[in-house]
Every structure is written in C-alpha cells, then in structure tokens.
Amino acid sequence: MPGLHLSELTLSHFRSHKSARLALDARPVAIFGPNGAGKTNLIEAVSLLSPGRGLRRAAAQDMARRPEALGWKVTAILQSLHQVHEVAIWSEEGGARQVRIDDKSATQLALGRIIRVLWLIPAMDRLWIEGAEGRRRFLDRLTMSFLPGHAEATLTFEKAMRERNRLLKDQVRDAHWYLALERQMAESGAEIHANRQQALALIMGAQMQAETAFPAADLELTQTEGAMPEGADDLREALAESRFRDLVAGRTLIGPHRADLYGVYAAKGVPAADCSTGEQKALLVSLILANARALARDFGAPPILLLDEVAAHLDATRRAALYDEICALGAQAWMTGTGPELFSELGARAQHIHVTENDGTSRIEHLTP
C-alpha cells in the first residue's frame, strides 16, 4: 500500500522552537521529554499542514516564538501516495497564515487533497461530558478527513447564518431579506448533515470490521431540539417557518449548528458520558483508530496521527495494544509522553526523539536513525 508520511519537518521561530529540523521515515515518532519542553509544539506544527486552525485552534500571532515575535514558518516534505510534495505554512509579524504547495501559493483547503491528519489531545478527554460544540468540532474534523469539501460547506453555512442572525437581532421582518440567505443555509446545511452521516457510517463500519483491544462506540447524530430536516428544500422551509421564533430568540434555532454527537459504550450499553475516565479515553482512541482504518481504504493510505500524551489513562497492556495497532495500520503516528519508558513497547518499530528545554528554547535529540 502506498504511504503517507512526513520525511522532513523544519521549524523556524515556531513557539519554543527557534530552529529545528527532523529527518524522518515512515515509522511512528515517539517524542518524550519533561512538561513544557516543546513536545506538543512539534505536533501542533504538523497539524497545521492540514485544513483548519490546528490542534490548538490558535491565532497565527500566538504561534510566534517570544520575545522576537517576528513571524514563524513550518516546512515539510510530504510523501503522499506516489507523490512527493513540499509544503510551507508561515505567518509574518502576526499576519494571516499563508500556504505554498510545491512552491505555488495555495489555500488551506487545498491541503486536504494531499494529506490527512487526525489528532487526539488531552483537551478532548472531556469530550463526552462537556458541551455539544466540542463534539460537533470533533465530528467535523472526522468528516473533513473523508470529505475535505466539508470545510467549505461549513464556512458557507456559518457566514450565511451570521448574516441571518444579524437581521434577527435587528428585528428585520421583511421576508425578502431572508430568502437568499436561507437558500444558501439550506443548501450548505443539508450538505453538512449528509456529510456527517456518511462519516459516521464509515467509522461505524470500520469499528465492526476490525479486531481491536479498544471498545466500540455506537454513535448517533442528534439535534438539540427537534429533528434536522433531511434535504435542502425541507431545511429551507423549516428556516422560513422558524423565523418568528428566531426573531424572539435573536438567533437561528434550527440547522446543523444545533447537532450533537451521542455515543454509547456498545458492549456495556452505557452512554459515553456515564463511563469512567479510562473508558472515555479508550472510546476516543477507538474512534480515532476506526477513522484511520476507514481512511486507509478511502484515501489509499492511513492518515498521519497526532496523539498528545496518549499514554494518559491507558494501562501498560492497552498501551502496548495501541502501539501494535498503529504499527499494523502502517501509520506515521506522532506520540508524546514524559518519559522513554512510555514507548518501550515500540522499540525499533519507532523513531525516538528526546525534547528538552533550555532558557525557553527547545532542543531536539534523535535517539534512533
């Protein structure tokens, strides 16, 4: 199977890394070092190579190394299927991020055609017990991994909804002001809903077909209130009918922005929100692995995985099982942890990188060729 991995990553004035270069092969990347050394900054840089705002959702100016704050740059050599691409992402003096692919200016959405990146970070550990917004964002990242155009549909819907909400807050009652916006919202909103349903079906199918040490989750797309109209025409009619109620609320109360992801620990029949912390973590790992397996078939290669502090809440047996599944999948998984013992089960199956910090600057040491 053709692969997908980074063979080189170069950072310049990115967060704690003044200058860093990693020469890599397709094996998993085990990154260890003390807290605050700059491990997560490395995998955040990799996350910027995919569409979106990256795993921290940070503004461009917040990624610049201090105190210089002159700007930053991330460059990578990407082996994607049977092609090699050079990708550069940078920001100058806090300006908007810029993208170049093979020395040509590109959009962030264009990155979705050549790379797939999934991540699991500690902030997601509370996914099942916090607000629906985080679960929608998680689901949309999974969906974009299969359907990069999902990002554009989401942006289109959100832009039109902001305009409609402005009309609602201004108590505009003339229907003609709403028609074009609601048509745009209906078309993009129906696409978003269909995309999410397709992604869930692919992930659920991948869970059923695999033998894994991690628990399967039954997933369902629900709405905060009522049911989501299935087609664009139905959604357009629902938006028109909801106008009076929306005027009272001052915002749009129906659409894909009101969706939620409901999960159940399948073997136990227990809602994910009621599971233990360890079970919730295992369910998230299971979903990421299922997403990766489905992508290996859909895209033609497993995605790059970013697993920050992945060993948290995993015992030694389940940690070893995770490493075995990653290696069997053939994914270049970037994993962080505080000590080398957390990755001992990987041995020579991975590249081991030691990150330390000195006077606010991260230092990188390759421990394996």
Q: Which of 148, 153, 133 is nearest to 232 (CA)?
A: 153
Residue 361: predicted pLDDT: 86
3-class secondary-structure state, position 191: helix
User: Angle at Cα 89 formed by Cα 61 and Cα 39, nearest 5°?
Assistant: 70
**What does pLDDT average to in each consecutive run of 10 residues of the chain (369 residues)?**
89 94 96 94 96 92 85 96 95 91 93 94 94 95 93 96 97 95 98 97 90 91 87 96 96 96 96 94 94 93 95 84 95 95 93 91 79
pTM of the model: 0.93
Quick check: 230 and 255 in contact, CB under 8 A?
Answer: no
Helix (H) or strand (E) holding 323: helix 316-329
3-class secondary-structure state, position 18: strand
- The CA distance from 234 to 228, in Å, is 9
CB-based contacts of 245: which residues, under 8 Å, 6+ apart? 253
- Taking CB atoms within 8 Å and a gap of at least 24, the contacts of 94-97 are 94/60, 94/61, 94/64, 94/69, 95/60, 95/71, 96/60, 97/48, 97/60
Neighbours of 234 (CB within 10 A): 14
CB-based contacts of 255: which residues, under 8 Å, 6+ apart? 157, 161, 185, 189, 228, 235, 239
Question: Hey, what are 47's tokens?
Answer: 């996350």
Cα 361–chain centre separation: 27
Length in residues, the chain: 369
Question: Hey, what are 29's tokens?
Answer: 């990347």
Phi, psi of 355 (to 5 degrees): -115, 130
**Is residue 26 classed exposed, middle or buried when 0-12, 13-18 and 19+ CB atoms within 10 A define those classes?**
middle
Strand partners, 273: none
Question: Hey, what are 305's tokens?
Answer: 């995985």
Residue 369: predicted pLDDT: 52
Residue 341: predicted pLDDT: 92
Residue 163: predicted pLDDT: 98
Residue 314: predicted pLDDT: 82
CB-based contacts of 291: which residues, under 8 Å, 6+ apart? 118, 142, 145, 203, 206, 303
Written as one string, the DSSP assignment of 74-113 is EEEEEEEETEEEEEEEEEETT---EEEETTEEE-TGGGGG
